[in-house]
Amino acid sequence: MAVIAASSLFSSSLFAGDITYNLFTGHENRVSATVFEFDVYIQSTGTESFKLRNVQNTYTFNPAFINGASVRVSYVPSSSAIPSYTSTLKWSNAGNGFSSSANTAGTCATTGIVVPVAPAYIKVGTYRLTAVSGQFGTAAANIGFVKPGQSNPAKDLQLKAAVSRWDDMNCVKGTATAVVYKEASSSTNVADKGLSTMAPTLFPNPANGKTTLSFTAVKADKYIVKIYDATGHLIMDDAIAAAAGYNSKEINLQGKAAGRYTLSIQTDDTDKESLQLIIE
């Protein structure tokens, strides 16, 4: 399976006191002549993390890549770090693209997830394009985010790039901000950003003893998870038989002293990723 190098970045710059974030695509994969997949990620570019409620965007593709094919777009189940993520997708042959609706299912406590500060990030999900007639061309996909104010690529596509967050990181209020719209900026590649393919996250963090480690495996593999206390003493050494795609594992540090811990996760052929975990 070939990996296409190009990917796109959507940057927001919101009003003072509100969230700032990057949305970007990566790991573009021409699975076959009729199947193409790509991932979407989000990270906070401000000084603080925020709890994500939903993401909705309109994406366009190079007409030479679509190649006149009739396309069906779908969301790869369980590919998102967001619990119970759902999104209604609408493809437009006229616009060579598709729009995704907001994830409105659930509550802050059940579907809210913390978007970490860059360079960390979480995965919104994997999208799959299937040519139901014809096949994709050999040209690059050139995925782009449709910006508010741009000319309409197709009347049946929603022109929006939007993110909303839960107002309270601890889900006490349980209300959400209005959806915000900002313009896209430049293009980049996941590798160029120095981001790993694992995208590990811990939630909740801080935790009262139990938290969940989530990460993405590019293939089925054994992942080694180690946790060290503030003095550097190893307190946990475990192995995870990960499946390709999204994985999660409960971390139980109940009975351990409150404080800061370091969790590392790695395989034999990936760089080690480390996360800070706070136990209250």
Supply the pTM of this predicted model. Answer: 0.64
Is residue 232 over pLDDT 60? yes
Span 91-103, mean pLDDT?
Answer: 84
Per-residue pLDDT band for 194 (boundaries 50, 70, 90) equals very low
Residue with tokens 């109940």: 254
Asked if 29 and 14 touch (Cβ cutoff 8 Å), the reply is no
Distance CA 58, CA 97 (A): 7
Distances (CA, A) of 63 to 60, 95, 265: 9, 9, 40
Distance CA 96, CA 98 (A): 7
Question: What pLDDT does residue 189 have?
Answer: 39
Adjacent-strand bridge partners of 7: 188
Question: What pLDDT does residue 134 have?
Answer: 94
What 3-state class would DSSP assign to 111?
Answer: helix
For residue 180, count CB atoms less than 10 angstroms from its CB and return exposed for 0-12, middle for 13-18, buried for 19 or more: middle
Question: What pLDDT does residue 238 have?
Answer: 93
Question: What pLDDT does residue 16 have?
Answer: 36
Lowest model confidence (mean pLDDT) among 63-67, 112-116, 202-206: 112-116
CA 39 to chain centre: 7
Residue with tokens 């996760």: 265
Backbone angles phi, psi at 3, to 5 degrees: -110, 125
Q: Which residues contact 193 (CB under 8 A, 6 or more apart)?
A: 24, 119
DSSP conformation class of 106: S
Per-residue pLDDT band for 278 (boundaries 50, 70, 90) equals confident
Is residue 273 over pLDDT 80? no
Question: What pLDDT does residue 244 have?
Answer: 72
Q: Which domains does the chain have, with CATH numbers?
A: 2-187 (2.60.40), 196-279 (2.60.40.3080)
Closest CA to 267 of 241, 245, 247: 241
